[in-house]
Structure 1
């Protein structure tokens, strides 16, 4: 039976997904899930139970960028190993998900975005998707962003995407709530190292300003957030957060659905945005 229909007396599944941002962390999360990987697995099961399987995932990642926003409309994807120096086992993992060319054309027409006939999922997408949808059976449409876009521009782009929720499409943005590779390499901290004070302060500022719907401050995070330059020497790992925020709508309080840090400085927070965000919080706790 189609999940959009129900028998008399049954309650229809509300398939309007919240927009999500998840921190993907190290590519090793695909082999060693840790706390965040286990959360993503729980998140996937919860979405399946309470929302049903999405018709597609619109994926926005820190690692898929272009000179302008562009949709990767290939009919088939595979995992891209856009990293080096990891165990050979990691490079043997596969994630062969179908593409979503029809959705790409629909979005292209609606948003005047170009489509390229290209497939492939960067590690920010496939390592998260392996935990959310391990069977690789959900079509994926990557949206490449320009790393030079401002947070305000990306929130505006996301603001054109709410119609996807009504179509059963999950907007999934991936990056890291804090990301400084120099800190990660300095002294080679252990995965369970005590979090730096600066990292915690930055993560909490994002959470506090989100709860206050202070989008002006959030858009100006590099000037207003504590330790912003230390936590994000460059913007790209936080930029997808703003697309998901815009997709959820800026009048509804975002929900931090997961928090924590690995290696003492790599923030792993996840957020849900939009009218379904609080419902997700409740579903995750059920």
Structure 2
């Protein structure tokens, strides 16, 4: 069977409660998965694995890590037992080395919720090998973009590559009440600016992080935005899979790059 080229994705994974209450984004992730050829493997850069230099998980069967506190007990009982793929991980490391990108193997890292939570809605059977790669916070936006470009070759092998973060992410501004909350202008304008530039393929404007409107209001720290740069490296054709806000200011967008 001929292998098909899969897109690169940016997934806003939201609150851990998404695992229990999928809101709008859970069904959107499910629809996306059934409209794609089944991946041979999945590679995810998560906002929740920050590192100094790039690391690649070579673990055979990573544990499901509930890397959060104060949520319902039911959430901590969830497991996502998808296997790792050490052989593919070694190929990823070799690919990065050939591009002069420093990366190290990590055989003990558990799988954080930035990985297993969206995949729970996309591939609930957990029967596709998953490799997690870290977010090297010492890298610039351009360098993270180049990591995405380098690894985009794996798309041709029917391997799905994802950056998992959030298009807006300021926890101090979230509304934890059940009543609907109006999304503030600063969140809308930030998201709309990014989408406009991506639609125009003006990637340099998005990578020029400090010039993004209301940056600090939307991202007091950059770890949830940076996986977008990784996904941008996957292709030149941008499209929106899903767009919504949760808890007032938490952007839940899903973007596709072909």
TM-score, structure 1 normalization: 0.85
1:160 equivalenced with 2:145 (yes/no)? no
1:179 and 1:20 map into 2 onto residues whose CA distance is: 18
What is the Cα deviation at residue 243 of structure 1? 0.5
**Is there any run of 5+ residues in structure 2 with no aligned partner, and where?**
98-102
2:158 and 2:67 map into 1 onto residues whose CA distance is: 30
**For 1:171, which of 157, 161, 169 is the aligned residue?**
161
Secondary structure of the equivalent of 2:14? coil
In structure 2, the residue matched to 1:23 is 12
CA gap of 1:214–1:191, structure 2 versus 1, over 3 A, is farther
1:258 equivalenced with 2:248 (yes/no)? no
1:31 and 1:188 map into 2 onto residues whose CA distance is: 15
**For 2:72, which of 87, 90, 107 is the aligned residue?**
87
1:211 and 1:170 map into 2 onto residues whose CA distance is: 22
Q: Which has the higher contact order (CA 8 A, sep 6+)?
A: 2
Aligned pairs for 1:198-213 within 5 A: 198-213=186-201
2:179 and 2:128 map into 1 onto residues whose CA distance is: 31
Aligned pairs for 1:108-257 within 5 A: 108-112=93-97, 113-184=103-174, 188-190=176-178, 192-223=180-211, 225-248=212-235, 252-257=236-241
CA gap of 1:194–1:149, structure 2 versus 1, over 3 A, is same
Residues 10-48 of structure 1: per-residue CA shift (max 9 Å, x gap): xxxx6210000110000010011110111111111222x
What is the Cα deviation at residue 175 of structure 1? 0.4
What is the Cα deviation at residue 221 of structure 1? 2.8
Aligned pair count reads 253
Contact 2:53 2:138 in 1 (8 A): no
In structure 1, the residue matched to 2:83 is 98
2:182 and 2:26 map into 1 onto residues whose CA distance is: 19
- RMSD between aligned residues: 1.4
Structure exhibiting the larger radius of gyration computed from Cα positions: 1
1:264 and 1:234 map into 2 onto residues whose CA distance is: 19
**Is there any run of 5+ residues in structure 1 with no aligned partner, and where?**
6-13, 275-286
1:76 and 1:134 map into 2 onto residues whose CA distance is: 16
Secondary structure of the equivalent of 1:65? strand
2:110 and 2:29 map into 1 onto residues whose CA distance is: 21
Secondary structure of the equivalent of 1:218? helix
2:116 and 2:180 map into 1 onto residues whose CA distance is: 24
What is the Cα deviation at residue 217 of structure 1? 1.1
TM-score, structure 2 normalization: 0.94
